[in-house]
């Protein structure tokens, strides 16, 4: 029999568990190194900064390098909105065979049996891949079917039927083509969810050839441009070395304000009363011409208080609010 709970006449006090680490809000534009998974990179940066909360805006394959935006603190509330953002890549492909994974890690599966196109023919072929396409996801991908990622089926030697998915190629530029070495390099701008490995295979198959990715670098995500903005993991390690005290780390210059994630987004500046009502979850009237999609909301001091959305016919309602105003 359980003994009765003893009380002292007052209600027991509930103490919330304190999160470990520092309450940092910001964005790190990491230049992810080759061979490291996106989650491993995220956890390493989180550890180095001793941050309470961290997330990323869409993973890169371990073999890919380049822009991996990492969100800290309140910035994690925005990460899901960048998953579907347009992505920009530079990709190099070998034009001699396909592999089971679509990249240099996989075993060869099919070899090219036809000659490569001439330069002018290749340029003409590439124009046919700009616009909306129907793309079948590769077996070696994290897309889940029946609750199981496709790569798990592939590693078990199974092939699962996949439905084509609509994707958009906004731009496709030929950077280099070496017929003797059988390689090409492309700059690609695509909608979120586009598989570059599959795009490369489909391009080669358009002339009867075969191809696989040998190098892939992400150069942009939405309005974020990696060139000149990214920080390498070795720099982060160097800057954080020996500064383990929770409050002893001076904020580095590469820890950017949360607003950097929303570069180029439409915004609305609210006055005190409007900001108060939005903060209480109320819908504001007098906004008939808002475009669909999330809208950045700024308080009267210019700092962000969250995201809003159009509520027909002329309303503005809160979509995601921050715990505190952010720069």
Q: What positions carry a catalytic annotation?
A: 61
Contact between residue 218 and residue 30 where contact means Cβ atoms under 8 Å apart: no
The residues, ordered by sequence, that sit 6+ positions from 113 with a Cβ below 8 Å of its Cβ are 208
Measured CA to CA, the distance from residue 104 to residue 46 in angstroms comes to 30
Phi-psi region of 228 (alpha: psi -120 to 50; beta: other; left: phi over 0): left
CA gap 195, 36 in Å, rounded: 19
Residue with tokens 């969100």: 71
């Amino acid at each position: 029999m359980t003994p009765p709970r003893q009380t002292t006449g007052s209600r027991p006090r509930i103490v919330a568990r304190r999160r470990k680490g520092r309450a940092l809000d910001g964005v790190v534009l990491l230049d992810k190194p080759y061979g490291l998974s996106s989650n491993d990179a995220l956890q390493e940066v989180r550890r180095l900064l001793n941050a309470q909360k961290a997330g990323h805006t869409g993973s890169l394959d371990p073999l890919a390098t380049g822009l991996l935006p990492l969100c800290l603190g309140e910035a994690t509330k925005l990460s899901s909105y960048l998953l579907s953002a347009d992505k920009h890549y530079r990709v190099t492909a070998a034009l001699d065979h396909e592999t089971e994974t679509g990249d240099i890690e996989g075993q060869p599966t099919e070899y090219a049996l036809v000659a490569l196109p001439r330069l002018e023919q290749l340029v003409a072929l590439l124009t046919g891949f700009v616009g909306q396409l129907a793309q079948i996801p590769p077996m070696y991908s994290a897309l889940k079917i029946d609750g199981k990622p496709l790569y798990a089926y592939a590693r078990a030697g199974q092939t699962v039927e996949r439905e084509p998915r609509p994707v958009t190629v906004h731009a496709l530029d030929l950077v280099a083509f070496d017929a003797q070495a059988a390689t090409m390099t492309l700059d690609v701008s695509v909608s979120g969810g586009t598989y570059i490995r599959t795009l490369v295979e489909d391009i080669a198959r358009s002339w009867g050839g075969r191809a696989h990715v040998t190098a892939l670098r992400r150069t942009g995500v939405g309005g974020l441009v990696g060139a000149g903005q990214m920080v390498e993991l070795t720099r982060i390690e160097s800057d954080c070395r020996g500064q383990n005290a929770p409050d002893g780390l001076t904020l580095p210059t590469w820890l950017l304000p949360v607003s950097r994630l929303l570069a180029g987004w439409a915004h609305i500046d609210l006055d005190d009363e409007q900001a108060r009502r939005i903060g209480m979850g109320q819908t504001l009237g007098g906004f008939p011409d808002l475009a669909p999609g999330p809208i950045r909301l700024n308080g009267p001091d210019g700092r962000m208080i969250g995201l809003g959305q159009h509520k027909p016919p002329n309303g503005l309602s809160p979509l995601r609010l921050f715990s505190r105003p952010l720069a």
